[in-house]
């Protein structure tokens, strides 16, 4: 017997609200799709004359679903040109995340349409559904891991590819590492010259390289002098003479490794247990520093190590997190040690920043520590004491409020540098909270200016001018500023001259040439007038690469592994040539190095050397 509708007050109100009038005695059809479908019935079961016909049918619902889904997908497609040209506050990362989200939503909607609302035959829908399941299963089964580029695009590693660890192990097995014999005579070490790069971005850490002229036109790409696998991580290379030192991730250990610069042969390595990993990938970040016969290295988990350059033997070491009771930063310890006379300056961070520490370079004894290491630090695990409540500095810049206390260190991602302002040598440190000038002998802060973005990511090395101006830049919609540091008697002061959001350095540091600033604004090369902050041009999508300047030529290493030669020109981008130095399916975040015409590049999988010196001119 056919069930008929008997009105109840609550149901009547609900149906009326939905716009579906019902009359007593009309048939009720129960369906899994909850659609009211008129019965194909004989006149005896027809609704009474004058009754309103049911407004919704399955074909109508299918047409409506099709219109909605294809309209949404169409809007996604129409939005692509806007997203491509949108200069978002976060650079290309935000548009890329939106596009990827759109692609996922569009795939889901089109799949649902095909399976539920399309006019396809039942067998076709089943076959399509099985195909989608097989596709997803195949992707999940074939992908080993997914990493993100600097602009949040996907980098996929498949299971059939050898892992970076397997490639490195095979290379080391085929190329035996020499065993250092303590009784054998030690190879003499060369003294550092102006053409060496003993530290991150050079001896002055300004990205300016002294050396022979380089070749800029590459109709025929150069072949590497040598290339081989390397452990993970994003450190650059310190090079003095024929010694190249870097730090890399090898399985569960960080390894400080010395290679022969001329051949790539591994000479020695020192490993210790540390396996830091963050969103960008695992491995250490800070470039080692070579000073005379010693190497100073800082790992991503805070291991500060002093080694012998000739043999790799350890002189002393400290773990900054345990020693000072500070947390790690989001992307690990990244600052390279700075050597000044008998002092090694390391950035230990702390919840308020201002966490530099000076160690005696021979013994490792602590000489002084920054005031920030007494703010909100927690004791080492062996001392069960309660952390003190942090007392944070107030802000003198309304754009950059004082940092709030938390469990993340404000170490920042710059490296301290030695500069002279108004005749006074001092340490310039741009950590995650502020820019500071600090006394070399005591660590006392001479002057400071709070400058912080949301995630406390200050990466770009400050550029110091002879007249006391300092240029700084940060990403995450903060931008750049030109500051003036002044000295009146014994009183230091700092003020902002101009601010610009036209250069937001995220992974890279700018360079100065003839009074103009060149840097990557969220991955696109820009030129700023250092006097006014005016952007003169913006061009060249090099993504999150790195810059070096030598003999009036910019050498740009792009995130995709290409090396581009650019003539600095305040009027427009002037590319001279380029070649692919590393595979374009990987991320090249590691800073390149240039020594005596040889270009050294690495990423988290490979390291290589190219001869790019210009040919000698014939008389």
Confidence of residue 38 (pLDDT cuts 50, 70, 90): very low
What span, in angstroms and rounded, lies between the C-alpha atoms of 232 and 518?
29
Percent of the chain surpassing pLDDT 90: 71
Q: Does the structure show a pLDDT above 60 at 384?
A: no
Q: Does the structure show a pLDDT above 80 at 393?
A: no
Confidence of residue 527 (pLDDT cuts 50, 70, 90): very high
Q: pLDDT tens for residues 221-234? A: 999 999 999 999 99
Question: Under 8 Å CB-to-CB from 127, ≥6 apart: which residues?
Answer: none
- Please indicate whether residue 19 or residue 68 has the higher confidence score (pLDDT): 68
Pick the range with the lowest mean pLDDT from 57-66, 136-145, 431-440.
Answer: 57-66
CB atoms within 10 A of CB 598: 19
Q: pLDDT tens for residues 78-112? A: 999 999 888 888 888 899 999 999 999 999 999 99
pLDDT value for 158: 92
pLDDT value for 75: 93
**For residue 161, what are its two tokens?**
């590819």
Q: Determine the average pLDDT of the residues in 416-423.
A: 97
Q: Determine the average pLDDT of the residues in 317-338.
A: 95
Query: Quick one: which of 10, 35, 34, 11 has its CA closest to 22?
Result: 11
Q: Determine the average pLDDT of the residues in 267-283.
A: 93
pLDDT value for 59: 80
Q: Does the structure show a pLDDT above 50 at 289?
A: yes
pLDDT value for 177: 75
Q: Determine the average pLDDT of the residues in 122-146.
A: 93
Percent of the chain surpassing pLDDT 70: 84
Q: pLDDT tens for residues 496-525? A: 999 999 999 999 999 999 999 999 999 999
Q: In degrees, to the nearest 5, what angle opens at C-alpha 369 toward C-alphas 367 and 374? A: 145
Where along the chain do its domains lie?
Answer: 58-158
Query: Quick one: which of 173, 171, 285 has its CA closest to 227?
Result: 171
Q: pLDDT tens for residues 189-214? A: 888 999 999 999 999 999 999 999 99
Sign of the alpha-carbon dihedral angle for 83, 86, 88, 90: positive
- Please indicate whether residue 376 or residue 346 has the higher confidence score (pLDDT): 346
CB 151 within 8 A of CB 96: yes
- Phi-psi category of residue 233: left, alpha or beta, with phi > 0 → left and psi -120 to 50 → alpha: left
Pick the range with the lowest mean pLDDT from 83-97, 238-252, 314-328, 592-606.
Answer: 83-97
What span, in angstroms and rounded, lies between the C-alpha atoms of 607 and 85?
34
Q: pLDDT tens for residues 140-179? A: 999 998 888 888 888 888 999 998 889 999 999 998 777 7
Q: Which H/E stretch holds residue 73?
A: helix 58-85
pLDDT value for 611: 98
Q: Determine the average pLDDT of the residues in 516-535.
A: 97
Q: What is the mean pLDDT of the chain?
A: 87
**DSSP-assigned beta bridge partners for residue 435:** 430, 449
pLDDT value for 404: 42
Q: Which H/E stretch holds residue 12?
A: helix 9-17
CB atoms within 10 A of CB 604: 23
Confidence of residue 17 (pLDDT cuts 50, 70, 90): very low
Question: Token match 């080694």: residue?
Answer: 307
Confidence of residue 526 (pLDDT cuts 50, 70, 90): very high
What span, in angstroms and rounded, lies between the C-alpha atoms of 36 and 58?
8
What span, in angstroms and rounded, lies between the C-alpha atoms of 227 and 517?
33
Q: Does the structure show a pLDDT above 60 at 335?
A: yes
Beta-sheet pairing, 277-278 with 266-273: unpaired
Q: Does the structure show a pLDDT above 60 at 495?
A: yes
Confidence of residue 37 (pLDDT cuts 50, 70, 90): very low
């Amino acid at each position: 017997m056919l069930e008929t509708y008997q009105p109840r007050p609550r149901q009547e109100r609900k149906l009326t609200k939905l716009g579906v009038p019902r009359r007593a005695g009309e048939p009720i059809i129960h369906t899994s799709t909850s659609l009211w479908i008129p019965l194909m019935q004989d006149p005896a079961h027809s609704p009474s004359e004058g009754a309103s016909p049911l407004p919704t049918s399955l074909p109508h619902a299918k047409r409506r679903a099709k219109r909605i889904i294809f309209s949404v997908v169409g809007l996604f497609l129409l939005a692509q040109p806007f997203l491509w040209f949108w200069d978002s506050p976060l650079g290309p990362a935000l548009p890329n995340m939106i596009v990827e989200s759109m692609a996922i939503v569009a795939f889901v909607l089109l799949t649902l349409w095909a399976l539920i609302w399309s006019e396809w035959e039942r067998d076709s829908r089943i076959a399509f559904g099985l195909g989608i399941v097989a596709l997803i299963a195949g992707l999940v089964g074939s992908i080993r891991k997914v990493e993100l580029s600097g602009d949040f695009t996907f980098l996929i590693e498949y299971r059939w590819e050898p892992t970076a660890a397997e490639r490195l192990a095979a290379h080391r097995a085929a190329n035996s590492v020499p065993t250092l014999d303590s009784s054998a005579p030690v190879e003499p070490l060369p003294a550092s010259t102006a053409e060496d790069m003993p530290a991150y971005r050079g001896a002055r850490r300004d990205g300016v390289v002294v050396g022979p002229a380089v070749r800029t036109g590459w109709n025929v790409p150069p072949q590497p002098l040598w290339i081989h696998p390397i452990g993970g991580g994003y450190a650059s290379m310190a090079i003095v003479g024929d010694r190249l030192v870097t730090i890399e991730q090898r399985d569960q250990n960080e390894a400080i490794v010395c290679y022969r610069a001329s051949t790539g042969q591994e000479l020695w390595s020192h490993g210790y247990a540390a396996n830091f990993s963050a969103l960008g990938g695992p491995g250490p970040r800070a470039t080692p520093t070579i000073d005379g016969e010693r190497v100073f290295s800082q790992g991503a988990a805070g291991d500060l190590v002093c080694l012998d350059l000739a043999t790799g033997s350890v002189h002393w070491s400290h773990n900054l997190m345990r020693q000072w009771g500070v947390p790690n930063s989001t992307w690990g310890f990244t600052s390279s040690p700075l050597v000044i006379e008998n002092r090694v300056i390391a950035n230990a961070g702390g919840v308020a920043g201002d966490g530099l520490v000076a160690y005696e370079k021979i013994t490792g004894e602590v000489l002084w520590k920054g005031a920030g290491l007494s703010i909100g630090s927690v004791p080492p695990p062996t001392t069960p004491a309660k952390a003190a409540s942090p007392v944070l500095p107030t802000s003198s810049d309304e754009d950059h409020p004082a940092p709030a206390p938390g469990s993340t260190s404000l170490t920042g991602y710059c490296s301290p540098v030695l500069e002279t302002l108004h005749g006074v040598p001092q340490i310039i440190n741009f950590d995650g909270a502020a820019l500071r000038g600090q006394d070399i002998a005591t660590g006392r802060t001479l002057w400071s200016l709070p400058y912080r973005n949301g995630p406390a990511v200050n990466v770009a090395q400050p550029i110091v001018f002879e007249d006391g101006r300092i240029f700084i830049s940060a990403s995450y919609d903060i931008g750049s500023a030109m500051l003036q540091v002044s000295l009146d008697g014994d009183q230091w002061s700092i003020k902002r001259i101009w601010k610009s959001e036209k250069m937001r350095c995220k992974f890279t540091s700018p360079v100065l040439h003839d009074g103009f600033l060149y840097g990557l604004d969220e991955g696109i090369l820009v030129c700023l007038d250092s006097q006014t902050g005016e952007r003169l041009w913006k061009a060249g999508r090099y993504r999150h690469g790195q810059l070096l300047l030598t003999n009036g030529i910019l050498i740009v290493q792009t995130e995709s592994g290409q090396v581009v030669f650019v003539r600095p020109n305040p009027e427009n981008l002037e590319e001279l040539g380029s070649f692919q130095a590393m595979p374009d399916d990987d991320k090249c975040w590691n800073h390149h190095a240039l020594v005596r015409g040889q270009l050294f590049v690495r990423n988290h999988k490979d390291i290589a050397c190219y001869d790019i010196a210009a040919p000698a001119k014939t008389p």
